[in-house]
Amino acid sequence: MIIRKATIDDTTLLIRLRLDYLLEDGAILVPEEECILRRQLKDYFSKHLSNNTFIGILAEVDTHVVAVAYLAISEKPANLSFITGKTGTLLNVLTYLEYRKQGIATKVLEKLIEEAKLISVSSIDLSATTEGKYLYKKLGFLVSNYTTMKLSLM
């Protein structure tokens, strides 16, 4: 198994993996929504892979991706919780069914955390599924004292 960082050459693959994640998470995509998503994702990965504000980590077995995780990196005014001003949001943690419970997601996330440290990301946040909570706790993630809230604008 190879654990590696995605490159700009992986853009088409990253789009497919994002759509696979959304479907696994229960999304039902109509063709026009999928077209919009594909266009936005292509633009996103082109921009953010180039300027190091996105990290994608892939686990491959025989050149097939079996697990993936994304980190979207933001820069904002620093505070004591993120002293460098750089934070990451963990997204798209997916291990395909036949490869689950083998420690692959742990290895992918360890590599992602290592890469985030190299570029001085102060903290990583996430929204955990019930299935993922144990993995995240094992890696040192803590439940925040703040309530996550969201305002949908579209």
CATH code, domain with 119: 3.40.630.30
Mean pLDDT value across the chain? 95
Output the pLDDT for position 36: 97
Asked if residue 47 is part of any domain, the answer here is yes
Asked if residue 51 is part of any domain, the answer here is yes
Distance of alpha carbon 107 from alpha carbon 118, whole angstroms:
17
Query: Which neighbouring-strand residues pair with 58?
Result: 4, 68
Supply the range of the domain harboring residue 117. Answer: 2-139
Asked if residue 146 is part of any domain, the answer here is no
Evaluate if residue 130 carries a pLDDT over 90. Answer: no
- Residue pair 95/67 in contact by the 8 Å Cβ criterion: yes
Number of domains in the chain: 1
Pairing of strands 123-125, 86-95: parallel
Evaluate if residue 149 carries a pLDDT over 90. Answer: no
77, two tokens: 């005014």
85 Cβ neighbours under 8 A, 6+ residues apart: 75, 76, 77, 78, 122
Asked if residue 151 is part of any domain, the answer here is no
Output the pLDDT for position 154: 84
pTM of the model: 0.93
Asked if residue 17 is part of any domain, the answer here is yes
Output the pLDDT for position 74: 97
Give Cα separations from 48 to 7, 8, 71, 93, 98 (angstroms): 11, 9, 11, 18, 31
Asked if residue 112 is part of any domain, the answer here is yes
Evaluate if residue 91 carries a pLDDT over 90. Answer: yes
